[in-house]
Structure 1
Amino acid sequence: MTDQPYDLRKVIEELKQQPGQYHETNVEVDPDAELSGVYRYIGAGGTVERPTREGPAMMFENVKGFPGTRVLIGAMASRKRDGMILHHDYKTLGRLLKDSVENPVKPVKVSKKDAPSQEIVHLATDKDFDIRKILPAPTNTEYDAGPYITMGVVFGSDPDKTMSDVTIHRMVLEDKDTIGMYIMPGGRHIGHFQKQFEKLNKPMPITINIGLDPAITIGATFEPPTTPLGYNELWVAGALRNQPVQIVDGVAVNENAIARAEYVVEAEIMPNETMQEDINTNTGKAMPEFPGYDGDANPAVNVVKVKAITHRKDNPIMQTTIGPSEEHVSMAGIPTEASILELVDRAIPGKVVNVYNPPAGGGKLMTIMQIHKDSEADEGIQKQAAILALSAFKELKTVILVDEDVDIFDMNDVIWTLNTRFQGDQDIMVLPGMRNHPLDPSERPQYDPKSIRFRGMSSKTIFDGTVPFDMSDQFKRASFKKVSDWKKYLE
């Protein structure tokens, strides 16, 4: 496996060597709500309904109704496991991704014979073609609008094929050859390309790539301004692995696919055509989203017509995730950490030591910034760092500032800071009437008519838990003896 290019299977083999990081089961599981329900107890983490915990990645090898297929969930549902997967200290993954963005490695094209993702081909023109029978896509709850592709990396290009990009979207299987795709307005390059195709009244060819090396999945979630229009996030994955991602021509559409994916859905986004997301259920709900609530079904998602599905011949793996889980925190949070670090390192170098986007914010809504102050001239720089992050990344809602002696990955330590180095009347800064993520249910005009004019607006808050520089000698933590051989007492 050492010389083999990175893909999901190589990562799984590496995880098998790490105790407690991977588990597979042959017990039959129903992909309709049961699979996610089981993993909730085993290792979903994040803000999934309690009880949940940090646990192993799970491979379900006996999926009801889908013989010969497997479903993997939770590969990235642990920050420490993410470090193992990327061969890096989990506490500095943000800096690793920042460096990867700055040192891109572009993909390479391979032939179809060297693309495992195209070993088996199902064409939409085939008799009995039905995506719902080929893809073991789970539903996360009994109220979902249908089976969802939650970890499908969409590859698309502009009409002139001068730019391409990869992004992740919410995609529900609507009927035998139709997918409903939610493209969030603004920010996503695939959405920009799609609008260009709509102006030409042409369908946009895409591939939806499922079952990937997590380096691809994590890299795909970068957004502007860190990766501007024209920057394809597959370049990040290439840098993370120090080897280019392999891509291949599609079999039914004029677009590239990821050659070492487990499944590829080849399709077209139809121009100026939408449909009701929950047309099959009418529950009003889509699926659980990263803030921890069910997302409202969108009345007008983009219509995607499937032209082909290709996959590996040997027990292909459907990779999935739970919206509010620790896995989403990894995919959304670590690239955001990298983006914040890239911004503050340029603006105020040396003052932000590290950044963490914790599960409490779903990886997007909250960041904890570790601040370094050299002198009294640095007092106030911490608030500038927070404002920089909030202004550049509109989905951030809450920033907590702490000193260097605080472990930003330990929420007990962070909250301790807000109890012993913080006074609410002077250490809170509120910025009302700003844009944020529309999936936060508190961002409605009826919640706060004064500052929320339209849904998706929010007040943003900075909690300054840093000690004033001239008082630092009064906030020394109790210092315990360093014992290097403490582990012998556990033997």
Structure 2
Amino acid sequence: MAATAPAAPKAAKTALKDAKGPPAPKEALRSLPATVEWLRREGLLMETDSEVSGDLQLTGIQKHFDGSYPILFNRVKGYSHVRAITNFFANMDIVDRLFGWEDRTARTRELAEALTHPIKSEIVAAADAPVMQEVITDDLDVNKYIFPIRHTHLESEITIGSGNSVVVGDKFWGGSHIGYNRMNFRWGNVGTFQISPGSHMWQVMTKYYRDEPVPLTVNFGLPAAATLLAGGGFDYVVLPRGGDELGAAGAVQGYPIRLVKAATVDAYAVADAEYSLEGYLHPRDKRYETAEAEKADIQGRFHFHPEWAGYMGKAYKAPTFHVTAITMRKRSQRPFIYPMGVHMYDCNNIDTTVREAAFFELCERIQPGLINDVNIPFPMTDWAGCILQVKKRLKTDDGFVRNFLSAAFACSSGLRLAIAVDADVDIYSMDDI
């Protein structure tokens, strides 16, 4: 269960307004600070100067406001240089405004178009990249710079789960990858780096398992479109290895994601991110995620991190990420970080939005014009289900609908339930379903 926090945020600095309204200007998508400024200006941001702790407090407050407005904490206990935002994707009316989507159906269709029509990323010089304003190579204790959190009282240690791994070029078959990997930096600049079996990062790890360590970056506080694409997963017929996920993020925002060459490794970071960890993934240097599991020398028994499906995850031995540099926006600007509670609307919306579009595109490839919309409701726990809405034209369309369902299961690891309904059924109403 999520912990409750003893102190709630103060009243918003500006009056909150209706979440629905006109779309955001394109430049509001350039960076997380630009988006925060738009949210503040539009009355869509809860903001507080009350100090928040990452030890249960932040996620407790987030859960209390689950599905509501984004929350900005201007003071973070133990991290004077950090401002933390959460519930960033919790309210899809706000998300639709941010990306210019008219409604839920338009969102799925336009995002499916973006997945298949990427805009190539732009590489900029370090002098033009906010994430390169400070480059640290001597004091590399990651937990001093990156704000970790503890989600529940069951966890024995803190987690950094808000970072997005980025692999660009040859190490990702010529394309670009962005995704989530939970980390625990128990050894200063060396942390566990958990990888979901079958995921794109798992494919990278498998290919280079016997080779040299893999150079990559882990980015924090990214432009919203990059964060959105990082939530896609296990939809690899539509987003295959070697695909251009950062290019798809560029298509979502309407202009290229900017990349910058890492300072210490042969890799790239998102130039408009707030923080970046540069380093090497060591697939064969596997270590326990918690001291408790290490002491017992047992995997899969002790609690560590809540999982997307709502159950309590366990600590395992994981590959390690060895950090060679920490880069960030100037600390005097107090860069943002986006820590995210698990199994809340914030997490759920990031994980399901791209996935819905991928199912739509999959069906559209099988028989164009038959699929009308896709929804993955909260009780389907992100990756375990989907609802397909079809608009049948002929009796023979029933065969294609069966193909849709078969393809959904065949192309989606972890899928347990797929439902197909006609266009007169409201797929956003569980009573109708």
TM-score range, shorter chain: 0.7 to 0.9
Higher relative contact order by CA 8 Å / sep ≥ 6: 1 or 2?
A: 2
Q: 2:123 aligns with which of 109, 113, 124?
A: 109
Q: How many angstroms does 1:280 deviate by?
A: 5.5
Give the number of the structure whose alpha-carbon radius of gyration is greater: 1
Aligned to 2:11: none
Q: What whole-Å deviation, never above 9, does each CA across 1:77-113 have from its counterpart, x for those lacking one?
A: 1222221121112412221111001111011111111
- In 1: Cα distance, 2:247 partner to 2:160 partner: 23
Q: How many angstroms does 1:339 deviate by?
A: 1.2
Q: What whole-Å deviation, never above 9, does each CA across 1:357-407 have from its counterpart, x for those lacking one?
A: 111122211211112223433345433322221111122211222221222
- In 1: Cα distance, 2:172 partner to 2:399 partner: 48
- In 1: Cα distance, 2:256 partner to 2:52 partner: 36
CA gap of 1:140–1:160, structure 2 versus 1, over 3 A, is closer
Runs of 5+ unmatched residues, structure 1: 44-53, 415-491
CA gap of 1:332–1:5, structure 2 versus 1, over 3 A, is closer
Q: How many angstroms does 1:335 deviate by?
A: 1.3
Pair 1:214-2:234 in alignment: no
CA gap of 1:76–1:2, structure 2 versus 1, over 3 A, is closer
Q: 2:195 aligns with which of 180, 183, 188?
A: 183
Secondary structure of the residue that 2:157 maps to in structure 1? coil
- In 2: Cα distance, 1:2 partner to 1:241 partner: 7
CA gap of 1:3–1:337, structure 2 versus 1, over 3 A, is closer
The aligned length equals: 397
Q: Give the CA RMSD over aligned residues.
A: 2.1
User: Conserved in 1, the CA contact under 8 Å of 2:27 and 2:34?
Assistant: no
User: Conserved in 2, the CA contact under 8 Å of 1:145 and 1:287?
Assistant: no
Aligned to 2:31: 7
- In 1: Cα distance, 2:371 partner to 2:353 partner: 16
Aligned to 2:14: none
Q: 2:108 aligns with which of 94, 99, 118?
A: 94
Q: How many angstroms does 1:325 deviate by?
A: 1.2
**Counterpart amino acid of 1:199?**
R
Aligned to 2:9: none
- In 2: Cα distance, 1:266 partner to 1:273 partner: 17
Pair 1:297-2:315 in alignment: yes
Q: 1:236 aligns with which of 219, 229, 248?
A: 248
Q: 1:131 aligns with which of 142, 167, 170?
A: 142
Runs of 5+ unmatched residues, structure 2: 1-24, 295-300
Aligned to 2:426: 407
CA gap of 1:160–1:84, structure 2 versus 1, over 3 A, is closer
User: Conserved in 2, the CA contact under 8 Å of 1:166 and 1:232?
Assistant: no
Pair 1:392-2:411 in alignment: yes
**Counterpart amino acid of 2:130?**
P
Q: How many angstroms does 1:224 deviate by?
A: 0.9
**Percent sequence identity over aligned pairs:** 26
- In 2: Cα distance, 1:137 partner to 1:15 partner: 24
CA gap of 1:90–1:286, structure 2 versus 1, over 3 A, is farther
**Counterpart amino acid of 1:13?**
E
Q: Could you tell me the TM-score, scaled by structure 1's length?
A: 0.76
- In 1: Cα distance, 2:311 partner to 2:28 partner: 40
CA gap of 1:160–1:139, structure 2 versus 1, over 3 A, is closer
CA gap of 1:280–1:89, structure 2 versus 1, over 3 A, is farther
Q: How many angstroms does 1:145 deviate by?
A: 4.9
- In 2: Cα distance, 1:334 partner to 1:210 partner: 20
Q: What whole-Å deviation, never above 9, does each CA across 1:247-272 have from its counterpart, x for those lacking one?
A: 11111222101100011011211241
Aligned to 2:378: 359
